[in-house]
Structure 1
Amino acid sequence: MLGTVETRSVSPVFVGRTDELGTLNDALARAAAGEPQALLLGGEAGVGKTRLVEEFTMAAGRREAVVALGGCVEIGADGLPFAPFSSALRALRDALPEEFAAAGAGQEEELARLLPELGEATSSRHDEQGMARLFELTARLLERVAADHPVVLVLEDLHWADASTRHLLAYLFRTLRTGRLVVLATYRSDDIHRRHPLRPLLAELDRLRTVRRIELARFTRDEVARQIAGILAAEPDPARVDEIFERSDGNAFFVEELAVSGCEGCCDGLTDSLRDLLLVRVEKLPETAQRVARVVAEGGSTVEYRLIAAVAQLTEDDLIEALRAAVGANILTVTPAGDGYRFRHSLVREAVADDLLPGERSRLNRRYAEALEADPALVAADARVMRLASYWYHAHDAAKALPAVLDASVAARRRHAYTEQLRLLERAMELWDSVPQEVRCALRPVDYTEVYPPCGCDPATTPLNYLDLMAEAAVAGRFGGERERALKITKRALRLLEDEPDALRAAWFWVQRSRLVQAQGRGDGWQELATAQDLVRGLPPSEVHAEVLALVAGWSMLHRPGPEAFAAAERAVEYARMVGARDTELHARLTLSGLKVDAGDPETGLAEMREVLQDALAEGVHHVAGRAYVNLPSELQSVGRDREAAPLMREGIAYARKHGLLDSEAWTWGNLSDALYSLGQWPQAAEAAAHATRVGHSAKPRGAGALKLAHLALGRGDLAEADRQLAAARAHYGTHDPMPQASLPLARLALGVAAAQGRIADARAELLHALEAGFPPGTQRYGWPLLLAAATAEADARSLPAAQADRADILDRLEKAVRKLTTGAPLWQAYAQWTRAELLRAHSRDTPDAWSPVVTAFECLDRPYDLARVRHRLAAALLSQGGDDERDRALEVLRLAAAVADHLGARPLADTVARLAQRARLTLARTPRQALAPADPAAALGLTSRERDVLRLVAAGRTNRQIAETLFISPKTASVHVSNILAKLGVSGRGEAAALAHRLELFTEETLSEETLTAGKTP
């Protein structure tokens, strides 16, 4: 009987969708070849998404792919966070148990947050990196499982997904790089209204080139006719097809309902109301079956048989008959596991649920909650607490709902589902005033909250209060990315504390506001931190006091390093030890040791940083260890020990990846790129910087990666790419939180790009802005490269007319800055010598005696590119002396410089070295490409004789009219020549053309000076 009914309800013939199925099969083929695929399948309710997925997964199974399905629950945030991923991973584990176990080996406790069968989660404590770590481990698990077997991961009904599920899916789509994996997510497009939370995710994923989006259209009339023929197992009457097509508008599910209703003779009584269309077959069921259908509709997307029995309160025989009738009518269907029931189509479930009376709905939810409390084994353990919270809440029993909702919030926190935790805590705050006092007094902070703003009481014996909930919600909002909601909560909490002052609680909430303000890009967070510091000043040591001091020290280290930061760090360590706040102590020790390195005591500071790293590793304090793996190598780099830092950074990357510390990994990739650049490993440096731009959870580490790419592009002479990456870095860093470690490198790169493009005024503006801000203690690692870039730009532009204005003042300010900046480490002593030599060159007073000690200093350092640059300068100074011995020595150092420049692909340096050798008539060892290059630099650039004359005048600062007068041509002809020159040089303006001509030494300084004098003042 059931088979006959099913044949008449669902067409056995798969109708249409040829192109869409082809797209899915193509994705599977690509995945089988090792290219992971990400797809989104959208369409209105009932259009046939599920049927298409079924056809695809059956085809995938025939091609020996493992299919793992998971569905989002219809009750949204009331359901278990990550529910579809939990279901899919469970199916994947059942299908490939050995591969799954091997892929997750060593991470079972963390992955148990998604799949409790793997064991007990390591901790339910708040963890700022917890969600990111869980996402990273999940992505790596899927990649490993899919390394040898094609895997199809299907997540259905994304429009019902909780926020954590959406975040995890977005992470997978962005980061999957290997494995034979297809991730397919479906959603209802007609449910995605303007403010639907899925809409921003779809917009984000649309921007990813790796994601393909499929939209299912409704059936055409011919397709509807074929569907009806399949349902009826006979050719339908054309008039009946026209009628059904018109009324269904091609929606596959509505076609089924109309076709079956017409076949059963009830078409005449059927209205055009969608709700009536969905309910008509339900209402034809026996009364007992309708009652069971209403019970199932309110129970969730899937309801266990034993739970239905407990709520329906029917005899077993009556319940089975009712279920048989509902299944036979194709209203309900048995779950794949065979332990429960669900509606065949969610539209019918929604219609039945909407048809319930308010009192009826509350009563059903109460019955569900009471049944579950009486026998917790009625549902799976991992879903029980969420289901119970939802049932009691919708039963409108505040006294029962509040503790249930709080239990659910703890379960969400245990899964790092912070957005769901926030929603549940907001629900608890909503219920708070409706709950009797005696019920609230029975609740304890230790049972429901991880964050304890101190109130001078024991959280194990003191009743939970409203501020405890607000504190927990504020942290959940911050960790879950719901920062606006968290800011509103902290604002309300501080208002409450105005009426009932509590300095420590208020300081704690001000700390949260500081973090939130920085994360939202609304400021640097100092005002909020300073307020917190004022509140705790003079109070006895406490965890909050220690945390405030540690954060003040950390903030000052990044923004205003100096004695105040040092003192705050020392007191933070002392207070943290006194109150046993181990995490805070480790963070403060790390800050203090870094300040010692920056203050000129590198050996002591570095030794203490290594000790902190070892302590954090031994104690399993992952977030502190991750930070130490960033800071320790960075401080090694600050004193020029890049080769020592590099292996430590690789170790840190592996550690951060293992524990899902995405920001730590991104920062470390950026630092590694810096080290590899210095060590002359530019291809590897570019790869490391690209990693930094991809893996970071926050914007700033991505900005650091972009900054490294800009630096590489500038060294290679790709000014357009340098400009693009510089803009990206600025966008990532923003303007809300200026820090020397960002602002000084940004200024250095902006100055270098501007100088290379001949924009000397812009280059000077960058320098002056940096000089006005100053170089705080410990920032010499960023200050020296900036001063060097400025001195080099001034020396290169010394004969350009546009550089003459304010030149003396700029050089004077540069010389003063050079005298003040610290030179504690050998590297910065070498930079100081180099910068002073460039300043001499800017005055045309540099000699071999000025450059020889610079070369000697860099020969002792492991920085081949810097050494090549100063060798080139030494060669130029030697050749200016004119002696044979000097020429021989110049040839030797030029060959060394040329070899390094060619190896690195440092085109500007290679070209400059080659031009210098050509002018001096020195023969360098050449590659075949170089051997064929024209000896004349202007000819090498494709310039004609007349264009060379015009370029000389452009470099001298003449206008088109002045060029025309000098060369006895028309201004229009002069303009045409200038345009041709700019195109051949690949530059965008006259200033950049002049800078390039000078850098390539196409004209002597005497020639340019003569042209400048004859041309008069430059406009």
Structure 2
Amino acid sequence: MSLDRPEGKGTTVPGSTALSRPGLRGREAELQRLRALIEAVREGEGGAIAMLLGEPGIGKTVLLQETVSVARAHGFVVSHGRAEELHELAPLASLASGLLHGDPPLLSSTDFADLAGHHDQRIWLVERLAQLIEERSAGTPVLIAVDDVQWADPLSRFALSVMPARLLSSPVLWLLTGRNDPELYGQGPRTTTLPLRPLSDTALAELARDVLGGDVPTQVAELLDGAGGNPFLAAEMLMGIAASGAGVDEPEPPERLVLGVRDRLADLRPDTLHFLRIGSVLGRAFSLADAAALCGRPASGLSAEVDEAIAAALLHDEGERLLFRHDLLRQAVYADLAPSVRRALHREAASRLVAAGRSSTDAVPHLLKSAEPGDQEAIGLLGTAATDVIAVMPDLAADLAVRALELVPPHASMVFDVGERAIVALTRAGRYTQARDTGDTLLARQPPLDVFARLQSVLGDTLWHLDDIHELTRRSTAALAAVTDPTIRARLTARQALARSRGRDLGAARETGERALAEAERSGDREARVLALWGLGEIALNAGDCAAAAEHHTALSVFDTAFLPEEAVARIHMDDFDTVRRLLRAAGDTPLRPAMLIWAQATLNMGLGRLDDADADLVTAERLEADLHVPGNLVNIRVNRGLLAMLRGDREAAREHLDVVRATVAERPNTGNHATHQYFEAVVADGDGDHATAAELVRSVQRDHPFLRWRLLRPHVVQAVRIALRGGDRNLAEDLAAQAAEHATRNPSVPTAQGTAAHAAGLVNADHGLLERAVRILLTGPRPLPLAAASADLGRALLAAGDAAATPTLTRAHDIYAQAGADAEADRVRADLERATSRTGRRSGGRRPRLGQGWEALTASERKVARLIAAGHTNRSAAEALVVSPHTVNTHLASIFRKLSVRSRVHLARIVLAEGDAGTATGD
């Protein structure tokens, strides 16, 4: 009658609720809350998460099983899986254990095979899995239950931390059970956490009546106190009482009634006991073939042992595997082994699994518990496993690689090869300081010169991420003096070029990059070629040579499609928006670097003046980086969101973004981040009227960060000129205008470069003709906001001169700003227009402030998404209809739900119908 026994007939006790499982005694309140969640999800109130937390044996599994039964009875499609302790290296194993084995299964084997083929791209995989579940739940509610989630493999854990929030609008209920460490689980909105407390005396008495029948003698009640309210332990004691054959009216002495696990094991035959101990080493679930191999006997010869273990209520037979009836039983058997025996059995298990042709993911968990220094096989298997999982579980790969390095004897020659893999894995995991320290420890052993150069080459990536450009330059130069291997030389030269891209002599940097590319082509090394092309692209961007940047990044994108976002951004700088649209459309939902693809989409939307879409893209890119815990672009994202907020006139939002930027720069100092931060501070200070401080901040960007002059101020140079002039710094304004002119000279075919240069010069020199020229040029380009800015300045100049052409010029500026949602700029131009038409005070035709809640609060893009979802589209099909990423649709949908205070697609559809918009799914 223990909690994890198969379902049986419950016993109705006077005054209690009839239960389908005796193990549910004392869990009536929790069960009622779970039933309410099932009903809410079924009735269309959106998705939800329920988490059952508590110690082993407290009743999580039986409550999960009951919830699964109730959900099935309510028409849910159910995925019921379980995580296992020794399966942490098998990507998505914990989720797959349920997704593929339901009746019917939630996912087909074909769908899952497609997912497995891309398991090295975590974001893509999770989004695709979410899409499949969304489609599956379109007509039927879904329950996804995962037991013992504390053992989940890292990829399943990642999916569980991300997917529930993605699917909150779909009828999906997530039910997770685990130990008392909520950091491991998918916390998020609409999460119900149910901590399972020890059972009350009343519940224990009811459990005893269920097992023994009749009233519970005082001695039995006193005995149950020793269970500490743990229902599994209480049930084990009660089973002992029942098994003893003693009548409850004349109970046996307590010491004879308590049949603990050790006592039960003592009654088993030695061969059965040995078999169970072997099984406990293999995990809670294990195959008979594996156990037989470790026992040194054929599987057919273990039938008596299996039968006895099942009869003793210690094991279940699941057909493909044997399963300890409860993890507490497995732990009790395992704990009864001496530590040295456990270690030896784990090591033998690893060897047997490898000999049987099993993968490193099966053997390595045992090696982690058993390998000793100098164990060559363990070192090799750990290295192989780290390589196998590095793309999808980089933190785990780093742990494995570091453990392999720890096993290498200090003076063994292989320490440098193993150490190099550890540096690479640690860098991929974002553990840069540990990677550098590991490399320095190896270098302190004074390796041969070629090994020294190779280690410095892999440390180059680490130092780049640490933004330690001086050290990267010093080390790559020193290593180049020692290297003889042409491949390593090519990589080091490319690293040197990257470092020099941050310096003042970009001509020398370009020569280094070209030499690196030539060396890479001669050596035929892929990594060196990628590094060289990337370096040349960075150098060209920093030099303001847009055509060269686009050429190098296009070559890089052709060579490695992961760099398609860099090509897109380079072409945006060329005003080649049509090509960028084709690139992003061709990328679709490619699994490669989705956060950077969204960043490129945001950059395009900013160029097109679609501020709401750009902001949604930036929110999405930040979320995708946060999911991976690698917020490398956070400062740039928040600065751009802050600048958009200033255009809209939302100072409060801008300050919130500035706070995030300040905190991030303080935590992770970075040369580029520092410059970007300073410019944003300048814009906010200027908006607050502190023009002198704003000008000084722009001056410091110009002075202290020469490599960023083109990249940072190129799209903002006109705004920077205005700040300089308002701050009374004419020299700075002239310097900025000269910079814009030089940029135009370098990019004669880019309308924005030409028009911006004329605009900046027109402001500095108060030259109407230059402002008119700027407007003419920008009318031929694709960017509306620079055209609006030039038109506004020209209109003001014409207004001051009493020229009637001021009115149409200012009207054009106002309409562009208003269409883009740049409300603050539109208001400023409107004030000028009122002066031009002598209709001061007439503001009724102006914009209405955007509300925070309700249908009117939705942006145009959000309304389009709302209509499509109300018409029955999934996120994926809505994205296809709007030619955007499903990630961005998800961001829009989250904002829609917040603004409309709805929880589900059903509720959203009612609101859309009430607005009379359901028939215009793609219009506004």
Q: Same fold (TM over 0.5)?
A: yes
- Do the aligned partners of 1:81 and 1:162 also contact (CA within 8 Å) in 2? yes
Distance 1:176 1:527, change over 3 A: farther
Match of 1:1002 in 2: none
Distance 1:827 1:61, change over 3 A: same
Task: Please state if 1:110 is matched with 2:118.
Answer: yes
State the Cα distance separating 1:762 from its structure 2 match. Answer: 3.0
- Do the aligned partners of 1:103 and 1:145 also contact (CA within 8 Å) in 2? no
Distance 1:370 1:528, change over 3 A: closer
Distance in 2 (alpha carbons) for counterparts of 1:246 and 1:143: 47
Distance 1:605 1:136, change over 3 A: same
The amino acid of 1:185's aligned partner reads: L
The amino acid of 1:636's aligned partner reads: R
Task: Please state if 1:838 is matched with 2:754.
Answer: no
- The CA deviation string for residues 657-685 of structure 1, in whole angstroms up to 9 with x for no partner, is 422x33xx323322322332232222222
Distance in 2 (alpha carbons) for counterparts of 1:221 and 1:915: 76
Distance in 2 (alpha carbons) for counterparts of 1:865 and 1:133: 33
1:159 to 150, 153, 157: 150
State the Cα distance separating 1:717 from its structure 2 match. Answer: 0.4
SS in 1 for 2:117: helix
State the Cα distance separating 1:531 from its structure 2 match. Answer: 0.6
State the Cα distance separating 1:865 from its structure 2 match. Answer: 2.6
Match of 1:352 in 2: 333
1:757 to 683, 688, 702: 688
Tell me whether 282-291 or 921-930 shows the greater mean CA deviation: 921-930
Distance 1:511 1:922, change over 3 A: farther
Match of 2:61 in 1: 50
Task: Please state if 1:293 is matched with 2:212.
Answer: no
Match of 1:486 in 2: 435
Distance in 2 (alpha carbons) for counterparts of 1:772 and 1:272: 86
Distance 1:692 1:30, change over 3 A: farther
Counterparts of residues 799-948 of structure 1 (less than 5 Å): 807=728, 810-821=729-740, 822=742, 823-824=744-745, 825=747, 826-840=751-765, 846=766, 848-849=768-769, 851-882=771-802, 886-887=803-804, 889-922=805-838, 929-930=845-846
Match of 2:456 in 1: 510
State the Cα distance separating 1:761 from its structure 2 match. Answer: 3.5
Task: Please state if 1:467 is matched with 2:390.
Answer: no
SS in 1 for 2:444: helix
Match of 2:492 in 1: 548
Task: Please state if 1:712 is matched with 2:644.
Answer: yes
Distance 1:602 1:373, change over 3 A: closer
Distance 1:918 1:545, change over 3 A: same
Distance in 2 (alpha carbons) for counterparts of 1:930 and 1:371: 78
The answer for unaligned runs of 5 or more in structure 2 is 12-19, 850-924
Counterparts of residues 520-559 of structure 1 (less than 5 Å): 522-537=466-481, 539-540=483-484, 542-557=486-501
SS in 1 for 2:215: coil
Tell me whether 580-589 or 342-351 shows the greater mean CA deviation: 580-589
Tell me whether 871-880 or 468-477 shows the greater mean CA deviation: 871-880
Match of 1:65 in 2: 76
Counterparts of residues 60-139 of structure 1 (less than 5 Å): 60-75=71-86, 80=90, 82-91=92-101, 95=105, 99-102=108-111, 105=114, 109-111=117-119, 138-139=129-130
Tell me whether 924-933 or 67-76 shows the greater mean CA deviation: 924-933
1:501 to 437, 448, 458: 448
- The CA deviation string for residues 625-673 of structure 1, in whole angstroms up to 9 with x for no partner, is 121x222222222234445434433434x2xx422x33xx323322322
- Do the aligned partners of 2:543 and 2:710 also contact (CA within 8 Å) in 1? no
State the Cα distance separating 1:876 from its structure 2 match. Answer: 2.5
State the Cα distance separating 1:54 from its structure 2 match. Answer: 0.8
State the Cα distance separating 1:507 from its structure 2 match. Answer: 2.9
Distance in 1 (alpha carbons) for counterparts of 2:532 and 2:400: 34
- Do the aligned partners of 1:633 and 1:648 also contact (CA within 8 Å) in 2? yes
- The CA deviation string for residues 430-461 of structure 1, in whole angstroms up to 9 with x for no partner, is 44449xx9xx9xxxxxxxxxxxxxxxxxxxxx
- The CA deviation string for residues 141-160 of structure 1, in whole angstroms up to 9 with x for no partner, is 55555555544333332333
2:381 to 407, 411, 434: 407
SS in 1 for 2:177: strand
Match of 2:176 in 1: 185
Distance in 1 (alpha carbons) for counterparts of 2:493 and 2:613: 39
Distance 1:227 1:137, change over 3 A: same
The amino acid of 1:410's aligned partner reads: T
The amino acid of 2:689's aligned partner reads: G
Distance in 2 (alpha carbons) for counterparts of 1:423 and 1:914: 60
- The CA deviation string for residues 4-30 of structure 1, in whole angstroms up to 9 with x for no partner, is 998899953632434433444455556
- The CA deviation string for residues 501-532 of structure 1, in whole angstroms up to 9 with x for no partner, is 32x3223323443433554xx54354035312
- Do the aligned partners of 1:596 and 1:602 also contact (CA within 8 Å) in 2? yes
- Do the aligned partners of 2:681 and 2:697 also contact (CA within 8 Å) in 1? yes
Counterparts of residues 625-774 of structure 1 (less than 5 Å): 625-627=561-563, 629-642=564-577, 644-652=579-587, 654=588, 657-659=589-591, 661-662=592-593, 665-696=594-625, 697=628, 698-732=630-664, 736=668, 738-740=670-672, 742-774=673-705
SS in 1 for 2:562: helix
- Do the aligned partners of 1:781 and 1:828 also contact (CA within 8 Å) in 2? no
Alignment: residue pair count: 822
SS in 2 for 1:41: strand
Q: Name the % identity.
A: 20
- Do the aligned partners of 1:524 and 1:737 also contact (CA within 8 Å) in 2? no
- Do the aligned partners of 1:35 and 1:181 also contact (CA within 8 Å) in 2? yes
- Do the aligned partners of 2:724 and 2:732 also contact (CA within 8 Å) in 1? no
SS in 2 for 1:155: strand
Distance 1:306 1:545, change over 3 A: same
SS in 1 for 2:689: coil
- Do the aligned partners of 2:791 and 2:813 also contact (CA within 8 Å) in 1? yes
- Do the aligned partners of 1:747 and 1:786 also contact (CA within 8 Å) in 2? no
Distance in 1 (alpha carbons) for counterparts of 2:137 and 2:838: 59
Match of 2:713 in 1: 783
- Do the aligned partners of 2:41 and 2:141 also contact (CA within 8 Å) in 1? yes
State the Cα distance separating 1:545 from its structure 2 match. Answer: 1.6
Tell me whether 923-932 or 605-614 shows the greater mean CA deviation: 923-932
Match of 1:114 in 2: none
- Do the aligned partners of 2:79 and 2:144 also contact (CA within 8 Å) in 1? yes
State the Cα distance separating 1:787 from its structure 2 match. Answer: 4.2
Distance 1:284 1:482, change over 3 A: farther
- Do the aligned partners of 2:550 and 2:570 also contact (CA within 8 Å) in 1? yes
Larger radius of gyration: 1
Distance 1:398 1:704, change over 3 A: closer
SS in 2 for 1:728: helix
State the Cα distance separating 1:284 from its structure 2 match. Answer: 4.2
C-alpha RMSD of the superposition: 4.1
Distance in 2 (alpha carbons) for counterparts of 1:357 and 1:923: 93
Distance 1:870 1:362, change over 3 A: closer
State the Cα distance separating 1:612 from its structure 2 match. Answer: 4.0
The amino acid of 2:118's aligned partner reads: E
SS in 2 for 1:84: helix
Distance in 1 (alpha carbons) for counterparts of 2:179 and 2:470: 45
Distance in 1 (alpha carbons) for counterparts of 2:184 and 2:154: 10
Match of 2:320 in 1: 339
Distance in 1 (alpha carbons) for counterparts of 2:87 and 2:661: 38
Q: TM-score, normalised by structure 2?
A: 0.79
Distance 1:793 1:316, change over 3 A: closer
Match of 1:279 in 2: 262
State the Cα distance separating 1:547 from its structure 2 match. Answer: 1.6
Tell me whether 870-879 or 562-571 shows the greater mean CA deviation: 870-879
- Do the aligned partners of 2:718 and 2:759 also contact (CA within 8 Å) in 1? yes
Q: TM-score, normalised by structure 1?
A: 0.72
State the Cα distance separating 1:55 from its structure 2 match. Answer: 0.8
Distance in 1 (alpha carbons) for counterparts of 2:113 and 2:314: 40
Distance in 1 (alpha carbons) for counterparts of 2:819 and 2:811: 12
